Structure 1
């Protein structure tokens, strides 16, 4: 049976400009990244959706292998929603062979609603070809929604759908140790400048869980996080982290993302970064779009030459068979 949700949650799904999505790693951790879902929600079917480019195939490949996914609607900046609620949606991703023309028309309409009109003309048709044509729509039939009264995920949550499982057991530490493996001070400095910060981990029933946090400092153990009490499970585990900022119509995007080890003890949460990356785009909408288009063109051609796109097509065909 599909999950149903109230009007206030629907307004969040339909109105947030930027959210974060999380998927699981083979080692039992999670990767969390900012995305723009452009209000793709089918309330009657009980599903959400997001788009992703084949120019960045790692997410698609992993979701074909392990489809459990989560979306956190954690900021009202620059979008249309006005509710104060932090909303976590969990479900199972469905990756189609290719979107139908009807679905692509909906995506175009929604994209223009959130990002404004796309530039036109012969040059832009050429520049945007790979950015538009090599794009998938990932459907997410929702299994569970957890909605807290405010964006810090404080207060008593409402649950729609499957009853949440208990907190996950602590995980065994990685063979290379749990301490930081990248420049912690640099990660803390960069992340601390961005207003939106989240952590993600594998929940007790295997679905990713995403929680809002705030970097308050760092030490040789990692980034020190402020979080609503009781929101993170005690003990140590693999976890992904993301910090990001954006301007109107998702121009001027900046993010810092990584994977690492989360240690939660009474009154303290510390995340030790093992990998870290990120980027910043110019605040000019046209330059931002051109950069994305040309990068997609370059990467798609590279992935076509080295056989990655063919391998991904085979994985998608197997998943749908």
Structure 2
């Protein structure tokens, strides 16, 4: 039995193909969600009902989690520095598959798409060596879309227009972690670190297992956590594991900053409190030459490490449905 691909209207396609930066959410084994920003450079095939992005073997934990639970979501949440100017907020939910050995033709098409969004690739004998792994050892994450929810504007107020199955009701609360729900990193310090990052998004597992990603505002804090606000009806009542992303970026993603959190969300009535448990940061300078150098060297290091410790073989085995080699 074959299922017709889920497709989307022109306005949504313009956003999917035009946004410079989107938020990607994937699940953790403990029932949480991680939210990170990526530059998908317009990767999509509307006729096939597929959206996507690329990543590197230098991020093996993300890849392994997606392979073990392919339910992911992409939130097209800002038109900043992109090519689309329509107001809707778009949440695409689907199941991911990894292409870990893309064809030369697919890599060439990616390079052309990336130049449109990120600017010309550095060229020359030295740069060819520096960027070889970064450009040639890409992992494509292809997401077959099962649901698209479109809110009228980027604040997610109002009722979404849903293509595919209806959005499920709010998920049940989760069991608190054994180590407790209180913050495990200094709340005030983390808030200062994201003060200049205007884009904040919260992610949690929906009742059907697909990550839900919504924009939030930080309205205050104390030693118990960050106080959050969102559009009415989007914060699920009770307590649960959740991911928080704060990020900022300039044109062509120069000078970007990103901080990703995992933690515990408690929603009681109109009050939402987020207690951060872990925090990771990623930053890139505004200088495009330094960005290219950093990307190239990190890709070389990550790939060598993945080959040396067996990560590359383990991920390829999982991607093809085989048993992962023992560590």
Same fold (TM over 0.5): yes
Worse-matched range after superposition: 224-233 or 243-252? 224-233
**Could you tell me the TM-score, scaled by structure 2's length?**
0.95
2:50–2:143 contact (8 Å) kept in structure 1: yes
CA distance in 1, matches of 2:175, 2:222: 22
TM superposition shift of 1:250: 0.7
Q: Tell me the equivalent position of 2:43.
A: 40
Of the three residues 67, 70, 75, the one matched with 1:67 is 70
2:107–2:136 contact (8 Å) kept in structure 1: no
Q: Is 1:130 equivalent to 2:130 in the alignment? A: no
Of the three residues 110, 117, 130, the one matched with 1:107 is 110
1:260–1:272 contact (8 Å) kept in structure 2: yes
CA distance in 2, matches of 1:139, 1:30: 19
Residues 22 and 123 (structure 1), Cα distance of their counterparts in 2 relative to 1, 3 Å cut: same
Q: Tell me the equivalent position of 2:180.
A: 177
TM superposition shift of 1:310: 2.0
1:245–1:253 contact (8 Å) kept in structure 2: yes
| SS of residue in 2 equivalent to 1:318 | coil
CA distance in 2, matches of 1:257, 1:63: 17
Q: Tell me the equivalent position of 2:298.
A: 295
Q: Tell me the equivalent position of 1:229.
A: 232
Q: Is 1:259 equivalent to 2:262 in the alignment? A: yes
Unpaired segments ≥5 residues, structure 2:
none
Q: Tell me the equivalent position of 2:94.
A: 91
Worse-matched range after superposition: 311-320 or 2-11? 311-320
Q: Is 1:150 equivalent to 2:185 in the alignment? A: no
1:146–1:160 contact (8 Å) kept in structure 2: yes
- Provide runs of 4+ in structure 1 moved above 6 Å: none
Q: Tell me the equivalent position of 1:317.
A: 320
CA deviation vs aligned residue, 1:251-303 (integer Å, no higher than 9, x gap): 11101111000011111111100000102211111211211111111221122
TM superposition shift of 1:233: 0.9
CA deviation vs aligned residue, 1:219-271 (integer Å, no higher than 9, x gap): 12111112112111111100000000001101111011110000111111111
**Could you tell me the TM-score, scaled by structure 1's length?**
0.97
2:130–2:293 contact (8 Å) kept in structure 1: yes
TM superposition shift of 1:319: 5.7
TM superposition shift of 1:21: 0.3
Q: Tell me the equivalent position of 1:10.
A: 13
Q: Is 1:20 equivalent to 2:23 in the alignment? A: yes
2:122–2:292 contact (8 Å) kept in structure 1: no
Unpaired segments ≥5 residues, structure 1:
none
CA distance in 1, matches of 2:91, 2:268: 24
1:242–1:256 contact (8 Å) kept in structure 2: yes
